[in-house]
Structure formats: C-alpha cells, structure tokens
Amino acid sequence: MRIHDITVPLSPDIPVYPGDPIFSVESCSSIADGDHTNLSRITLGSHSGTHIDPPYHFNNAGVRVDELALEVLIGKALVVEFPGVKEIGRNELERYRIEGTDRLLLKTDNSRLWQEREFREDYAALTAEGARYLLEAGVKLVGIDYLSIEAFHGSGEVHRTLLDQGILVLEGLNLSDIKPGHYQLICLPLKLKGGDGAPVRALLIGGAEAASEPGFDPHTSKWPLA
C-alpha cells in the first residue's frame, strides 16, 4: 500500500489568495532559549494551503465544516489530468466518462505553481459549464491543484453551483507526482466549529490498481491490504 501526500506544507513561503490572511509562525517557547518546551503560535486563514470549502463558504444557510459527512471525505477517487488546459468545461470532462465517480481530482499545470511564492492569477480552473456537468455526473467532491477551483476573476458562480448542491470543494492540492487513475482519498479537515473552511491533510492511497481493491470502511477502521 503506497501513501501519497498531496498536501501543500503550510509555511510563510506558500502563495496566499489575494485578500486572505498571510500564514505566519511565531515562537512562544523555545528549548534553545532555555524554556522547557518548543511551542508556537500560528496565524492563518481558514482557506490557507490545502483546504476544504463547505457549503457555508458561499451560503449562510449551508453546512459548515464541522458538520461535513465523513463518508464523502474518505473513499475512492479518480485523478484526471488536463495538461495545457486553462478552462475545464463540459467538453474537457466528458472525455473521461466520470459518471458515477464520487470524488474527482483535477490535475492541471497548476501543480507547477507551488514552486512560486507569489500568487498567480492565470491558474487553470473549472468553468460554470463544467460545474454544471459535475452536478449531472453525480460527483460529491471535486478537488483541484491551486487555491481556487474558480477562475480568479470569476463571479462565484462555480462555487455556488457546486456548494449549493452539496458538492464539496477541495482546493490547494499538489498533484505534481500523481499519475492519473484510481486511488483511495483521505482528506480530513480541522474540526472548526461553525467553520467556513479549514486546512486539510490530504492523502491518496495506492494507484491505478486501487480501483479493484476494497474501499476504506470508516465503521471498522480496516484498511485494504496492498
């Protein structure tokens, strides 16, 4: 069983979506300075780095991050790749026959952008038409490899189309070393009460062969054997 960590490390060096709080770490206690422990204070936005968008992010009546169904956050996932594509719409998605896929991760050229500290506005994104297609296909969670699934100058339509229908949005993934195919996904956010979003530790288990393996059972905590 191979575990792939697709989480972007939180540090002052990661890009931040314009207007969001900047990530910082401050030492409160240091063994090197004669203290008994190492202890830090961290400051970050709820949508820093790899994070989840719950419906509440765009709708005051929506489900909040601590109310998310765990069964959506754990299970079989399909990674599809869009090299050289800036706008992912219906035509781009239809080629992959994603009907019946619960969790879909979009790998784009964005994964290369994590090497840059400054935020890039020209990242690849899902279009409103693409979002509507995901609704038709029955997707329950969609992820992408940059800080927003929607284009930088978007109106919010993509987010609202997805979130208002209960499709969770997983943003800020690093899929640089991930090959397209089937995996088992784990993406558990911090349990922030009433949260509009939260950082996530996102993992993929296995590879193309994972489609034929039994899925993770959250009721027994038994993992499929490699």
By the 8 A CB rule, do 48 and 24 touch? no
Q: What CA–CA distance (Å, rounded) separates 48 from 27?
A: 20
By the 8 A CB rule, do 190 and 48 touch? no
Active-site entry in 47, 57, 159, 182: 57
Q: How does 80-92 read in b/e, with b if 16+ C-beta sit within 10 Å? A: bbbeeeeebbeeb
**What is the Cα Rg of the chain in Å?**
18
Token pair of 42 as six digits = 């961290």
Active site residue 182: no
* Host H or E run for residue 129: helix 128-137
Residues marked as catalytic: 57
